[in-house]
């Protein structure tokens, strides 16, 4: 029931966000240098929440997706690929091979959608995840769905150990309780909290204040603002924690991959309400900084 609740929230959010989106901007390569970035027009975007699994390969071929992301003005993207059955590769690695300057691979610990309610207690999932980490480079494990005491299984305790061993993130679509349990396993593990847990700015602020190794992506948050305005609660929170937030699209179905450009436009529409330096932090600098902690050159 808890998982169904999150699906309903996400579906409702999608209907809200479509009305806020404007057509994608014309394609120019984003500049990373900075002093005179036009915040409203072409602010580079580090998209911290993209999925590219095997069910999307034919709908949006890898080369086409890379072109789409560049046209959207993405500077970097944290992309997860599921552990497709019978495959030694995943979507994140396919994209990374084509555009290593753009794609940061993450490993989603699902082999199929049916794994969603059971993956965190399945030793087979763990064994395959360990094999992938040995074979390929990743910056994160996730985005994964995990709630409550599901974070206390032997599989999850081992995954926390793997995150520390490989110096990578955990990208967790979780409630507050699961995040607290993961941190209890090892307070040094770095966690990117997907959607800010779909909870309130007040709760997110409490969690960030207590945990220095916790960041939040703002994927599918339709309460940020738009049209040059930002929700005052969010403005206060981002000003209190200017280095902890980043934006993301959340392409949870293959069709959502076509909304990457629209979402970048939407993000720029409320980022214009922030001071320029703060807008740049949320748009791409925080992602770059977090990446610098976990994505070292081999």
Q: 178 with 148: CB under 8 angstroms?
A: yes
For residues 159 and 295, give the distance between their C-alpha atoms in angstroms, rounded to a whole number: 18
Q: 244 with 205: CB under 8 angstroms?
A: no
SS3 197: helix
Q: 122 with 156: CB under 8 angstroms?
A: no
pLDDT value of residue 58: 87
pLDDT value of residue 115: 84
Q: What strand order describes the sheet that includes 169-174? A: 45-51, 74-82, 103-108, 140-146, 169-174, 191-193, 214-217, 245-246
Helix axes 123-135, 154-165, angle to 10 degrees: 10
For residues 156 and 129, give the distance between their C-alpha atoms in angstroms, rounded to a whole number: 12
pLDDT value of residue 227: 80
pTM: 0.86
Q: From the centroid of its chain, how far is CA 25?
A: 22
All residue ranges of the chain with pLDDT < 50 are 1-40, 86-88
Distances 64 to 59, 170, 206, 269 between C-alpha atoms, Å = 10, 28, 41, 25
Q: Tokens in use for 71?
A: 């046209």
């Amino acid at each position: 029931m808890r998982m169904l609740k999150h699906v309903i929230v996400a579906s409702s959010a999608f209907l809200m966000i479509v009305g806020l989106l404007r057509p994608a901007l014309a394609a120019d390569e984003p500049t990373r240098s900075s002093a005179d970035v036009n915040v409203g027009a072409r602010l580079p975007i580090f998209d911290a929440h993209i999925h590219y699994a095997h069910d999307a390969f034919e709908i949006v071929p890898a080369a086409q997706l890379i072109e789409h992301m560049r046209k959207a003005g993405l500077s970097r993207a944290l992309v997860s690929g599921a552990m497709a059955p019978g495959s030694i590769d995943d979507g994140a690695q396919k994209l990374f091979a084509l555009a290593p300057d753009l794609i940061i691979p993450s490993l989603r610990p699902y082999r199929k959608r049916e794994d969603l309610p059971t993956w965190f207690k399945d030793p087979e999932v763990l064994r395959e995840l360990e094999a992938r980490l040995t074979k390929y480079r990743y910056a994160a494990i996730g985005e994964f769905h995990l709630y409550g005491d599901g974070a206390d299984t032997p599989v999850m305790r081992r995954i926390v150990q793997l995150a520390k061993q490989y110096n990578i993130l955990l990208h967790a679509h979780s409630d507050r309780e699961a995040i607290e349990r993961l941190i209890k396993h090892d307070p040094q593990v770095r966690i990117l909290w997907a959607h800010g847990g779909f909870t309130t700015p007040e709760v997110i602020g409490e969690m960030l204040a207590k945990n220095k190794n916790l960041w939040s992506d703002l994927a599918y948050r339709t309460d940020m603002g738009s049209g040059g305005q930002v929700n005052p609660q969010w403005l206060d929170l981002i000003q209190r924690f200017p280095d902890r937030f980043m934006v993301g699209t959340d392409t949870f179905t293959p069709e959502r991959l076509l909304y990457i450009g629209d979402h970048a436009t939407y993000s720029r529409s409320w980022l214009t309400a922030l001071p320029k330096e703060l807008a740049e932090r949320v748009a791409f600098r925080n992602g770059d900084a977090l990446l610098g902690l976990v994505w070292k050159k081999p």
